[in-house]
Structure 1
Amino acid sequence: NVVTSMYQNNGANMDNVDFIQAPSDSYWTRDYGPWFVIDGNGEFGVCNFPYNRPRPDDDDIPIEVANYLGIELYGMDLEGAGGNWMCTGLDQASSTNLIWEENLNMTHAEIDQMVDDYLGVSDYHVLPDPLGEYIKHIDCWGKFLDVNKVLIGSVLESDPRYDDFEYVADYFANTLCDWGVPYEVYRVFTPGNYPYTPYTNSLILNKRVFVPITGSTYDSDAIASYEAAMPGYEILSVMYDGWENTDALHCRTKGIADMGMLYIKHMPLLGNIQLLDEYEISANITNYSGSPLYPDSLLLYYKEGMGNYQSVIMTQQIGSLYMGVIPYQEDGTMVSYYIHAADESGRNANHPYIGAPDPHEFTVLQMIPGLIVEPDTLLFEDMLQAMEGLEVKIYPQDNEDVVIDNINQEEWDEFYWWSESVVDFPYLLQATDSLILTVYIGIPVDQPLGYVQDTMFIECEAGDHEVLIIVNEDIISNINESQDPISISGIYPNPFNDLTNIVFDMPQGGHVVVYILDMRGNMVSSLADRHFAKGEHRLQWDGRSENDFDCPAGIYHLVVKTDRAMGTSRMIKR
């Protein structure tokens, strides 16, 4: 009742307060309180460890909490204290070497393995204590502010502890965080003189940061350090003249897991990123409440430079995996983004946690040797171009070798086209070399009159290139009509087995070439290459190649071409 009255008198919402009735020995709940985990089945649990003080009631508090919440209790036989443990919530955590001194029966490797087995921490940073006090707890001089940020105390260069503080600061500055980039190291001045300066011993709770202050002249600088490091958070000072360098707010508080949390797991794009056609942003979104996600509230927000945020829906790929796409950005563009989700329990979440005020950021740069492709458009305006082909030249952008991962050298979707020479992929294009592809169009193009188009994709690590292939069938038709086209008046039988007759009409006399192409545009047989008079003419094809091999069954194209006109027709060999 005394505590309830105290809470009510200070405006606490008692609907958000639960009491656990259990004996305890002290108020240092950070040191003996429960360590929450989520196991491999997605279930919440509590890790219980031997508390490094002779306080048996305190040591049993994790058991009481697990029983009250109805969750699993795991016994981890590693002596320690919560004040000497800080973790990122992912794969990394840190303690002082007190953890080694308190567990002399175990090797360092065995300690690392136990931390991994029970807490999911695969990268455990054990560091010397720079504070020089008896307690050797890491929260007295350092604090993870986010997955990629850490706050480290600092002292004057004349302080004998100066080198020790700089060592741990440099250690983190040269260590990759769980997001694959070096930690951002922030400093707060903690000389330790009375009134004390326990500024790293703060409490981060949701979007608020509670910082212990003592009336020191350095209090305002400490608040400013947090504001600079944690934009978007509400930074609140907690004044108490009883705080000490080894005992402040963090020591006396312990957060409780939200077992219905909405959790976003994402590996962000940070730093310099290779210029690409688009940037796929994927995340696992888990609604531990069991309440359905709002599909229209699964959003990827992004902005270019100092522009305004735009949003795209993140769509489900499989299970809890969702994806959104940031479109192409120009070389040198800085992109900021964050992920947002909401579910029907009323919860919402961002990644990074604070969202828009401190988003993920990356800069688009052309870092990998790329290609130059010329031209980027092939326009086929007449039959001659379609049959003789148009060239695409590919060469390295810089004086470096480039690996071409793939080129689609043949397509049937819009119309039939192919390119030669055919190469095997991956293809190493040397710095001083070039690759020339000749693109051909399969005749006839079975499309309505007008422009039809398809795309050749040239893929390499530095980014893909597209060559637009356009066929102007309307122009082809007009050219044929205006130039007294050659009329192929008959192919019979068609389909045929061994022999077919070909009848064509010359509007005027001249030199004529008559040949057969397969579907890839390869000439398989030449039927004539001579002068023909005006009028009707007849030829035969026996279905055999120039080398007198029997051609396989399939579709073939007859081409009758003069200097000024061309006629084509399709035949089928059975």
Structure 2
Amino acid sequence: MFTRITPSTQGLFLLFFILLSAKSFSQQVSHPVWSNNVSEEEKAYLLKHGFTKGDNGISRAKGIETPPPFSELRTAAEWEEIEVLTIAWEGFPCILKQIVASSISECRVVVFTENPASTSNFLSSSVCGGALELSNVDIIQADLNTIWIRDYGANTVYGSWNDDRILVDWMYNRPRPDDDIIPDVLGAHLGLDVYSTTSAPYNIMNTGGNWMSDGFGTAFESELVLDENQGGSTWWTNYPNHTLAEIENVFEEFLGVHTFIKMQTLPYDGIHHIDMHLKLLDESTLMVSEYPEGIADGPQINANLDYVLSNYTTKWGTPFNVVRIPSPPQLGGGYPNTGGWYETYSNAVFVNNKILLPTYYEQYDTTAIRIWEEAMPGYEIVGIDCDGSDPIISLGGAIHCITHSVSVEDPLIISHLPLQDTENTTDPYTVNGYLSHRSGIASATLSYSNSTTGPWTEITMTDIGDGENWTADIPAAPENSDIYYFISGLANSGKIGNRPMPAPEGWWTFHIGEILINGVGHFDLDQIGTFAPAYPNPASAITCVPVILRHEAEVKVTLRDALGREITVLHQGTLRSGETKLFFQASNLNSGAYIVTLEMENGKVASTRVMIQ
């Protein structure tokens, strides 16, 4: 379901009042609204006025500067249940008010502001969408530098996997001292300990827009995290100087991260934050921005995606699913490589059953909304204009950049690898789910239907013996059936949770019938897989070999010379149905003809030829 939020404009008097209110708001700050990146204007301002820090009511400079004393650290994923959404009231009041309006039905909203009375009056006024009821809003007095709270906010970490909630903060990579202390203000307000990577040997500089977690120990970043932690300096600070192993060790000791995926920075995004082109939708799905061929950051994004898919897997050991979403050019301004704004639909934020999505203009919004709705059925997609009268995207960020969150104290974790389309019409479809809560799991239920609106058949799932892994079977269905399903859990404490969270409006689905993948269908009866054309071919460097399977299987994919001798194994193990891209380095091989074979235990299934020059 899509909702577009637009400010109310009731006549000329109201328009005048809006402008007057916006002007009054702008006069609350003693400097311009700064961009996400440090502009030359901000640099000149800081060099002239100095780095004056407000006290924010916090006596210490930062939080606890040693690793959290817990043995099962887990950083929450953004799609998990949140208790609080945070924003910083520092410019763009209409956009911020729309965020508050959309979020107060889902969670508490904490607003940091230098003028609580003015902010409260603005939220309660009729401007920018109407008066809001503020019982679920905490307005906190705090000195601020900028609106970009994603980058300087703290992350929710559980010390004992699903218990002992804490906040973890980093050294902020901007010369904005008031912003940098906001995690401590938040921790004091919520009564949470804040741990900070701000003192050697744990001093790590990082930023929230360049950080995403799958909730199970895998984190994604750009190589900005290396650029700012391996020595050197900039005009306002010296960077920490660590080896890669030391950096990874700090992330593990403070955030429980054991798999650290780093991608090359992009040439045109300015800030090198991955949230401007990438979004984790769940543990197994990446939403990735897409440009026309050869345009702007498109080639590097594609190369990074190929790198991730060829070197990393989901927590289940399966390839990531990928949803591509077009990035629009600036209306009348072109793509970023020609000076256009960096417009992106990945810069969205989860607010429990809602997703707040930046929108720009109808030509591209319509497609983006459809892609989001198809990828996340049941969630309410709330569009907030970031390119109209309030063009925040011109400053290098959108909705994700100006929000942060605190996950709930007692998460009921439900994790599941969605079933894939299948041609199986005889055997049941096994659904496995991982459920965890600090009080333990009392029961788990699988609900399924042949319709998105039900009725839903409920099956009690079986605990396989450890109290956290549960299983149930959906009965076999005839060809051309569609099955929709979701998982519910009941904790011993009485807490109830669903996955997907909006269930039954939200669900996973799979189709029973002939599988057509990228135009490849009608396999022979005994054929389970084939190859799409390798590229580039002829090859001289990194070469991609797409493998297409009609159903999940244990396979071996091997590069062989013209005589059939094994050169290297590209993959040995499980591959899911659909297309998987495998890679090899052609520059290390002699020129000539090579063969890539796809094999199962009973012999060769398919082969394709590659010329190396």
TM score, norm. by length of structure 1: 0.55
> C-alpha deviations, 1:151-196, integer Å up to 9, x for none?
2112222425432122123334444222433222122222443464
**Match in the other structure for 1:121:** 257
- Higher-RCO chain (CA-CA 8 Å, sequence separation at least 6): 2
Whichever residue aligns with residue 357 of structure 2, its letter is V
Larger strand share, 1 or 2: 1
Measured in 1, the distance between the counterparts of 2:212 and 2:268 equals 19
Q: Is the 8 A contact 2:285 2:323 kept in 1?
A: yes
**Match in the other structure for 2:377:** 231
Measured in 2, the distance between the counterparts of 1:237 and 1:92 equals 29
> C-alpha deviations, 1:289-342, integer Å up to 9, x for none?
x7x9886xx422135799964212346677853635326647989765321135
- The match for 2:414 among 245, 260, 264 is 264
Q: Is residue 2:309 matched to residue 1:189?
A: no
Whichever residue aligns with residue 259 of structure 1, its letter is E
Measured in 1, the distance between the counterparts of 2:374 and 2:154 equals 31
Q: Aligned to 2:132, what secondary structure does the other structure show? A: coil
Measured in 1, the distance between the counterparts of 2:363 and 2:474 equals 49
The correspondence of residues 304-383 of structure 1 with structure 2, limited to 5 A, is: 309-314=456-461, 320-321=467-468, 323-326=470-473, 329=476, 336-342=484-490, 348-356=496-504, 357-359=506-508, 361=510
Measured in 1, the distance between the counterparts of 2:277 and 2:433 equals 36
The correspondence of residues 77-476 of structure 1 with structure 2, limited to 5 A, is: 77-104=203-230, 105-130=241-266, 132-159=268-295, 161-174=297-310, 175-194=312-331, 196=341, 197-215=343-361, 217-240=363-386, 241=388, 242-244=391-393, 246-266=396-416, 279=430, 281-286=432-437, 298-303=444-449, 309-314=456-461, 320-321=467-468, 323-326=470-473, 329=476, 336-342=484-490, 348-356=496-504, 357-359=506-508, 361=510
> C-alpha deviations, 1:226-253, integer Å up to 9, x for none?
1232222111210133132621111111
> C-alpha deviations, 1:96-145, integer Å up to 9, x for none?
11100000011222222222222222221110123523211111111112
Q: Aligned to 2:405, what secondary structure does the other structure show? A: coil
Counterparts in 2 of 1:355 and 1:137: CA distance versus 1, 3 Å: same
Measured in 2, the distance between the counterparts of 1:364 and 1:117 equals 47
Counterparts in 2 of 1:217 and 1:326: CA distance versus 1, 3 Å: closer
Q: Aligned to 2:147, what secondary structure does the other structure show? A: coil
**Match in the other structure for 2:119:** 3
1:280 positional shift: 6.8
- The match for 2:145 among 25, 32, 36 is 25
Unaligned runs of 5+ in 2: 1-116, 198-202, 231-240, 334-340, 515-613
Measured in 1, the distance between the counterparts of 2:450 and 2:360 equals 43
Q: Is the 8 A contact 2:291 2:327 kept in 1?
A: yes
Q: Is the 8 A contact 1:143 1:150 kept in 2?
A: yes
Counterparts in 2 of 1:67 and 1:310: CA distance versus 1, 3 Å: same
Counterparts in 2 of 1:237 and 1:130: CA distance versus 1, 3 Å: same
Whichever residue aligns with residue 353 of structure 1, its letter is M
1:276 positional shift: 7.0
Number of aligned residue pairs: give it: 361
Counterparts in 2 of 1:344 and 1:243: CA distance versus 1, 3 Å: farther
**Match in the other structure for 2:173:** 52
Q: Aligned to 1:136, what secondary structure does the other structure show? A: coil
Q: Is the 8 A contact 2:441 2:467 kept in 1?
A: no
Whichever residue aligns with residue 153 of structure 2, its letter is G
Measured in 2, the distance between the counterparts of 1:74 and 1:90 equals 20
Whichever residue aligns with residue 168 of structure 1, its letter is N
Counterparts in 2 of 1:179 and 1:2: CA distance versus 1, 3 Å: farther
1:224 positional shift: 2.2
Q: Is the 8 A contact 1:46 1:73 kept in 2?
A: yes
Q: Aligned to 1:256, what secondary structure does the other structure show? A: strand
**Match in the other structure for 1:522:** none
The structure having more radius of gyration, on CA atoms, is: 1
> C-alpha deviations, 1:403-430, integer Å up to 9, x for none?
xxxxxxxxxxxxxxxxxxxxxxxxxxxx
Whichever residue aligns with residue 352 of structure 1, its letter is P
Whichever residue aligns with residue 337 of structure 1, its letter is Y
Counterparts in 2 of 1:43 and 1:200: CA distance versus 1, 3 Å: same
Whichever residue aligns with residue 92 of structure 1, its letter is T
Counterparts in 2 of 1:65 and 1:311: CA distance versus 1, 3 Å: same
Measured in 2, the distance between the counterparts of 1:2 and 1:345 equals 41
1:46 positional shift: 0.4
1:18 positional shift: 1.8
Q: Is the 8 A contact 1:214 1:243 kept in 2?
A: no
Counterparts in 2 of 1:193 and 1:249: CA distance versus 1, 3 Å: same
Unaligned runs of 5+ in 1: 366-574
Whichever residue aligns with residue 376 of structure 2, its letter is M
Q: Is the 8 A contact 2:477 2:512 kept in 1?
A: no
1:24 positional shift: 2.1
Counterparts in 2 of 1:235 and 1:160: CA distance versus 1, 3 Å: closer
Q: Is the 8 A contact 2:422 2:510 kept in 1?
A: no
Q: Aligned to 2:293, what secondary structure does the other structure show? A: coil
Measured in 2, the distance between the counterparts of 1:99 and 1:251 equals 17
Q: Aligned to 2:325, what secondary structure does the other structure show? A: strand
Counterparts in 2 of 1:268 and 1:17: CA distance versus 1, 3 Å: same
1:83 positional shift: 0.9
Q: Aligned to 1:14, what secondary structure does the other structure show? A: coil
Measured in 2, the distance between the counterparts of 1:364 and 1:159 equals 38
Larger helix share, 1 or 2: 2
Measured in 2, the distance between the counterparts of 1:43 and 1:360 equals 35
1:364 positional shift: 12
Counterparts in 2 of 1:243 and 1:187: CA distance versus 1, 3 Å: farther
Measured in 2, the distance between the counterparts of 1:137 and 1:129 equals 8
Measured in 2, the distance between the counterparts of 1:364 and 1:320 equals 35
Measured in 2, the distance between the counterparts of 1:96 and 1:192 equals 23
Whichever residue aligns with residue 185 of structure 2, its letter is E
**Match in the other structure for 1:408:** none
**Match in the other structure for 1:40:** 160
Counterparts in 2 of 1:355 and 1:184: CA distance versus 1, 3 Å: farther
Measured in 1, the distance between the counterparts of 2:487 and 2:493 equals 18
